[in-house]
Chains A and B, each alone.
Chain A
Amino acid sequence: NAGVTQTPKFRVLKTGQSMTLLCAQDMNHEYMYWYRQDPGMGLRLIHYSVGEGTTAKGEVPDGYNVSRLKKQNFLLGLESAAPSQTSVYFCASSRTGGGEKLFFGSGTQLSVL
């Protein structure tokens, strides 16, 4: 019973490098989300998706892109990483919107040097 799986768990990048974080859920959820967590700031929504083929901007979308080509996967891309993107990234999913419980992955620790 995997739930929400994030890969990789840890990554170190140099400034300017690119990478993609993968989120996969096996619960047939419509909604998926990417958050970043920084000390003293809680979780901030980067992008989210309300269904396959759709994406929307959250609170802090700049410097990130996302794609939801398949219902079970939600990819987060950093085209040119910056030290300000050093953070812990969490993916989450929910069955629908409107007050549904979020299921979280275990996070990806990203450091940009």
Chain B
Amino acid sequence: AQSVTQPDIHITVSEGASLELRCNYSYGATPYLFWYVQSPGQGLQLLLKYFSGDTLVQGIKGFEAEFKRSQSSFNLRKPSVHWSDAAEYFCAVGNNNNDMRFGAGTRLTVKP
């Protein structure tokens, strides 16, 4: 079965600084890849997804992610972080049945 690793449990960045959250996946075929965000006490909201085409994917709230097949990675980036971006971020990989597997998550803290 597919799996996802998010190496960073917790990241702290200053407001206005750039952000990169790492995600590595394992899957035998071309994966469906996702980034979701979870605010405290809430369900998950989709930021962006990739399943074919351009390897640089744009999402909501100014986020983007790049699919690198050679590195089995799908890192999430944002050029300038806002205080409202503080949340937990989950990378996920899916198959044709939408059997979605999530990473353990990265908690983002934004310093003023």
A residues whose Cβ falls under 8 Å from a Cβ of B:
4, 31, 33, 35, 40-45, 48, 50, 56, 58-59, 90, 92, 94, 96-102, 104-107
Contacts and interface: CB of A to CB of B under 8 A. Distances in A.
Interface core residue of A41, A98, A99 (most chain B CB under 10 Å): A99
Contact of A42 (B49, B90, B97): B90
Contacts of B45: 104
Contacts of A92: 43-44
Interface of B: 1, 4, 6, 9, 32, 34, 36, 41-46, 49, 51, 90, 94-105
A102 B102 contact: no
A45 B44 contact: no
B42 A106 contact: yes
Contacts of A99: 32, 49, 51, 94, 98
Contacts of B46: 101-102
B41 to A, nearest CB: 8
Contact of A104 (B44, B97, B101): B44
Given A90-B43, A98-B32, A45 B97 contact: no
A42 B102 contact: yes
Given A33-B100, A42-B90, A99-B49, 5 more contacts: A41-B104, A44-B102, A92-B43, A98-B95, A101-B34
B55 to A, nearest CB: 15
Contact of B104 (A33, A35, A42, A105): A42
